[in-house]
Structure 1
């Protein structure tokens, strides 16, 4: 049955307008994005099939172009629209962070860092540069590595900190495995960077590790003193 034949109160688009996006299931949200189904399947039916095939919404959104285009009902237009929607979300978070008078919302910072790095298929190391009042100056991915590690050079981190005229920064990297626990190499690298940045009077406020679930803070776990 076409969604147009459903009772109005049950249609995803109408429910979103009436109750908000949070009231919709993953399949219903995806159906709103897809807009149309395929022969014999409504947009919601197609969305459910796609989520089952990919194993969830995140896996679908992070699929590479060839995998995405290999599915019925998903073409180049849908792929470009999805990439645009994801980038809009990341930029919205970035602007939210930039509007803060200072980093008074650690949860917002972590959401932003997770949005910027969780989709990376290999390990990436980044910095959020801050001024003397802990207001964001910029975010940069400085190094990318294999799925196991990224080679991080303290000299380059110092160089980019000086280029931003940063007074402090938050280090961040992702674990593609989904497990945010730091390795001994992560801890050693963090202390190296803190020491190198200290020589140019740039404070390391935290090192956030992005995996599945809540990002991990080295400061909160006692592995780093800000």
Structure 2
């Protein structure tokens, strides 16, 4: 079996050469992933294979959340390339929240929504997440607390505050998505929010807001008077 390499593509289409000439920021996600893959199959280039991965898993968040076995199941990827992809994505995630990285400060619900909207708006199941903040409302990390079904997510305050305490968080902002695209809160959303707020008061960790993420829109339960 003969594999097409990036070197066999026309020079103007080679991601590696484009990166050297124009810098990594000039490349698309597909081109950057193609450099990691290095080779495609006997019928497709590495760029085509990268495009197939994004078609299957939608975006970088989808690739991050996919299991190694799911990535490896795509023809032309296999376990070695799948592990390389997962390792590269994890390094990027760690860099984003490393002590040396510039901390993002949350000053409004819009700031929090902008940070997670693209990652959460297209998820096909409810994800309950939290922004963990320091005393200056700077983001320490974004944590996924639980993953539910199409229309519900189950979260226990214990799991949320376990993550917050581990990161020495002073405050948290709750986040969860509605796969339907409609961010209107349910009675369950309001009930769990009030429960978590009370738990936070006991532990001395402030719950600043709870954002419900829809399709490019969101609702702040603090703005709605729930918190």
Structures share fold, TM-score greater than 0.5: yes
In structure 1, the gaps of 5 or more residues are none
Equivalent-residue separation in structure 2 for 1:69 and 1:161 (angstroms): 33
For residue 128 of structure 2, give the secondary structure of its aligned residue in structure 1.
Answer: strand
Deviation at 1:119, TM superposition (A): 9.6
User: Conserved in 1, the CA contact under 8 Å of 2:200 and 2:206?
Assistant: yes
Match 2:19 to one of 16, 19, 34: 16
1:82 is matched with which residue? 85
Equivalent-residue separation in structure 1 for 2:107 and 2:211 (angstroms): 16
User: Conserved in 1, the CA contact under 8 Å of 2:132 and 2:140?
Assistant: yes
Q: Deviations over 1:147-202 (max 9, x none)?
A: 43233334665676567664422112344x26361431223322332244345554
Match 2:172 to one of 169, 175, 195: 169
Q: Deviations over 1:46-65 (max 9, x none)?
A: 3345555x274458725444
For residue 97 of structure 2, give the secondary structure of its aligned residue in structure 1.
Answer: helix
Deviation at 1:116, TM superposition (A): 8.2
Deviation at 1:92, TM superposition (A): 1.9
Root-mean-square deviation over aligned CA pairs? 4.2
Deviation at 1:14, TM superposition (A): 1.1
User: Conserved in 2, the CA contact under 8 Å of 1:206 and 1:224?
Assistant: no
In structure 2, the gaps of 5 or more residues are none
Deviation at 1:207, TM superposition (A): 1.8
2:45 is matched with which residue? 42
Deviation at 1:95, TM superposition (A): 2.1
Match 2:181 to one of 155, 179, 182: 179
Distance of aligned partners of 1:139 and 1:51 in 2 relative to their CA distance in 1, 3 Å threshold: closer
Alignment of 1:51-90 (within 5 A): 51=54, 54=56, 56-58=58-60, 61=63, 62-90=65-93
Deviation at 1:16, TM superposition (A): 1.9
Alignment of 1:79-158 (within 5 A): 79-95=82-98, 99-100=102-103, 102-103=105-106, 122-136=125-139, 140-154=143-157, 157=160
Equivalent-residue separation in structure 1 for 2:95 and 2:108 (angstroms): 16
Deviation at 1:77, TM superposition (A): 0.7
Distance of aligned partners of 1:83 and 1:110 in 2 relative to their CA distance in 1, 3 Å threshold: farther
Greater shift, 81-90 or 165-174, is seen at 165-174
